[in-house]
């Protein structure tokens, strides 16, 4: 019986993780769950999976949920609550599935507590990759990728010698507006931006896919997860999202991981690694898929990806500023305060003013994050 906790259990990844748990009922014990504000769903999850501890965003919500769940379930709230669920249970693995860099302290706390990480929440790696990876190395903790591209690369590199890797290619669907020119982006709506062509995901990552910021975050995520220099990380447009990424080796061989776009597969692999268990996911038929298409990335069409590479190469707090600016800008777009194209404008203007701090500690990262958020709200 594997004991796990899920940070962000009411979200897209969190609920799919619980699907996987339900598929293998006798194999998992849920120690902790966390929600932000969706306490109705969390209450259902508490009754079904009986976690020892839960956390929600605010004290008010914590007081409300206490009236509707068994007294045996301890209730926490806020960032401290995330940390408590991350580190304060008997879980041997924590699935990090909250949205944004709010997951940084709880990710670090889980690692500090020696818990392996099923890593979906990519923003903590983007904002503080050196802290997350060095702590994981020091504590002997595995960072098992859930993000589909990084799960693919992880699977392709299994059993291979690191020095034989010539490079990795992260595939990109192109997002909701992949068939639009930049001129046609001027008046696009939130509703249109939320229509990802292949995946059903949370709102923020869906917008990030449309701006290509998601792929930029994934480039930085891959740099840290696989200790991969940026000049060995490529991005390729692949509209079908069937090849989830691939690795090229020194002998020119390419190993790729394919499958239907279903996050339960990478989630399950992170939970069961190094084993593979059966999955209810529909099997991929290449004859049905027919042709697969690929196109060189157009960095003029998607300038945010170029910015991400520049920030990654710069290191220090540049990626912290990039991530925080994007989180604020996407939230403003989703609140209909700014246009879609203004998202990249906010990021660019933040970076134009950013004074980079090399190898920052946690305090400096959190200070940069907060300062950037205040600035991005005004741009
Ligand atoms: N969805 C996907 O297919 C993929 C997602 N990822 C990554 O996984 C992470 C989660 O994504 P996704 O599941 O789509 O996101 P969702 O928005 O669907 O879910 C986010 C989760 O985090 C919780 N949450 C949000 N804000 C806070 C907060 N301030 N404090 C505490 N909890 C909070 C939400 O709670 P509530 O809803 O109750 O408010 C929810 O449980 C992201 O980093 C994303 O980039 C990576 C690859 C694929
Ligand atoms: C499912 C997943 O991993 C997402 O990150 C998805 O890959 C987004 O797809 P694109 O960013 O390629 O549109
Ligand atoms: Mn991804």
Q: Does the bond joining 274 to the residue before it have cis omega, within 30 degrees of 0?
A: yes
Burial track 176-187 (b if 16+ CB lie within 10 A, e otherwise): bbbebeeeebee
The answer as to whether 152 is a domain residue is: no
Ligand 1 neighbours (beta carbon < 6 A): 8, 10-14, 34-38, 57, 82, 97-99, 102, 120-123, 147, 199, 201-202, 204-205, 263
Could you read off the pLDDT of 42-55 as tens digits, one per residue?
999 999 999 999 99
Distance 331 CA to ligand 1 centre (A): 13
| 162-190 mean pLDDT | 98
| Global ipTM | 0.99
Confidence (pLDDT) at 17: 98
Confidence (pLDDT) at 11: 98
Could you read off the pLDDT of 198-227 as tens digits, one per residue?
999 999 999 999 999 999 999 999 999 999
Write the CB contacts of 71 (distance below 8 Å, at least 6 apart in sequence): none
For residue 104 and ligand 2, the question of a CB distance below 6 A is answered with no
Ligand 1 atom nearest to 39, measured from its CA = 38
Confidence (pLDDT) at 204: 98
Confidence (pLDDT) at 301: 98
My answer on whether 289 and 234 are in the same domain is yes
Choosing from 37, 62, 98, 154 the residue with most ligand 1 atoms within 8 A of its CB, the one to mutate for a pocket test is 98
Confidence (pLDDT) at 209: 98
My answer on whether 288 and 345 are in the same domain is no
The answer as to whether 272 is a domain residue is: no
My answer on whether 113 and 184 are in the same domain is no
Report the CATH number at residue 40: 3.40.50.720
Domain tally, the chain: 3
Confidence (pLDDT) at 247: 98
CA distance 23 to 88: 26
| 65-79 mean pLDDT | 97
**Ion ligand 3 — residues with CB under 5 Å?**
147-149
Domain boundary among 79, 112, 145: 145
User: DSSP string of 273-287?
Assistant: TTS-----SPPP-HH
Considering every ligand atom, which ligand is closest to the CA of 18?
Answer: 1
SS3 letters across 190-254: HHHHCCCCCCCCCHHHHHHHHHCHHHHHHHHHHHHHCCCCHHHEEEEECCCCCEEEEEEECCCCE
Could you read off the pLDDT of 300-347 as tens digits, one per residue?
999 999 999 999 999 999 999 999 999 999 999 999 999 999 999 999
Exposed/middle/buried for residue 23 (C-beta within 10 Å: 0-12, 13-18, 19+): middle
Confidence (pLDDT) at 92: 98
CA atoms within 13 A on the CB side of 202: 20
Print the domain residue range for 65.
2-145
My answer on whether 288 and 179 are in the same domain is yes
The answer as to whether 336 is a domain residue is: yes
Confidence (pLDDT) at 184: 98
| 99-111 mean pLDDT | 98
Report the CATH number at residue 322: 1.10.1740.10
My answer on whether 32 and 167 are in the same domain is no
For the chain, what is the mean pLDDT?
A: 98
Choosing from 59, 199, 205, 266 the residue with most ligand 1 atoms within 8 A of its CB, the one to mutate for a pocket test is 205
My answer on whether 15 and 117 are in the same domain is yes
Could you read off the pLDDT of 280-300 as tens digits, one per residue?
999 999 999 999 999 999 999
Considering every ligand atom, which ligand is closest to the CA of 81?
Answer: 1
Could you read off the pLDDT of 234-266 as tens digits, one per residue?
999 999 999 999 999 999 999 999 999 999 999
| 141-148 mean pLDDT | 98
Confidence (pLDDT) at 294: 98
CA distance 15 to 40: 13
């Amino acid at each position: 019986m594997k004991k796990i906790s899920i940070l962000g259990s009411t979200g897209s990844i969190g609920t799919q993780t619980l699907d996987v748990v339900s598929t293998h009922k006798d194999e998992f014990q849920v120690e902790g769950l966390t929600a932000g504000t969706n306490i109705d769903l969390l209450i259902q999850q508490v009754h079904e999976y009986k976690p020892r501890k839960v956390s929600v965003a605010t004290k008010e919500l914590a007081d409300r949920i206490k009236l509707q769940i068994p007294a045996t379930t301890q209730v926490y709230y806020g960032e401290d609550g995330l940390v408590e669920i991350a580190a304060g249970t008997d879980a041997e693995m924590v699935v990090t599935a909250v949205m944004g860099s709010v997951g940084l302290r709880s990710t670090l706390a889980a690692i500090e507590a020696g818990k392996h990480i099923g890593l979906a929440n990519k923003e903590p790696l983007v904002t503080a990759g050196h802290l997350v990876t060095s702590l994981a190395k020091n504590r002997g903790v595995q960072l098992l990728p859930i993000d589909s591209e990084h799960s693919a690369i992880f699977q392709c590199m299994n059993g291979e010698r690191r020095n034989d890797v010539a490079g990795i290619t992260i595939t990109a669907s192109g997002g909701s507006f992949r068939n639009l020119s930049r001129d046609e982006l001027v008046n696009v709506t939130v509703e249109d931006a939320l229509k990802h062509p292949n995946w059903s995901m949370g709102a923020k990552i869906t917008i990030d896919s449309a701006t290509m910021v998601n792929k930029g975050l994934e480039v930085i995520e891959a740099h840290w997860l696989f200790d991969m220099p940026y000049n060995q990380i490529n991005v390729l447009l692949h509209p079908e999202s069937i090849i989830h990424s691939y690795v090229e080796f020194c002998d020119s061989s390419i190993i790729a991981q394919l499958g239907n776009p279903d996050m339960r597969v990478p989630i399950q692999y992170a939970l069961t690694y190094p084993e593979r268990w059966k999955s209810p996911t529909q099997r991929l038929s290449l004859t049905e898929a027919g042709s697969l298409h690929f196109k060189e990335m157009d960095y003029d069409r998607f300038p945010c990806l170029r910015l991400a590479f520049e920030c990654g190469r710069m290191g220090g707090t540049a990626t912290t500023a990039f991530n925080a600016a994007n989180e604020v800008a996407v939230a403003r777009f989703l609140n209909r305060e700014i246009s879609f194209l203004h998202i990249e404008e906010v990021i660019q203007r933040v970076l134009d003013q950013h004074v980079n701090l090399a190898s920052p500690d946690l305090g400096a990262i959190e200070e940069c994050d907060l300062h950037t958020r205040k600035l991005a709200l005004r741009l």
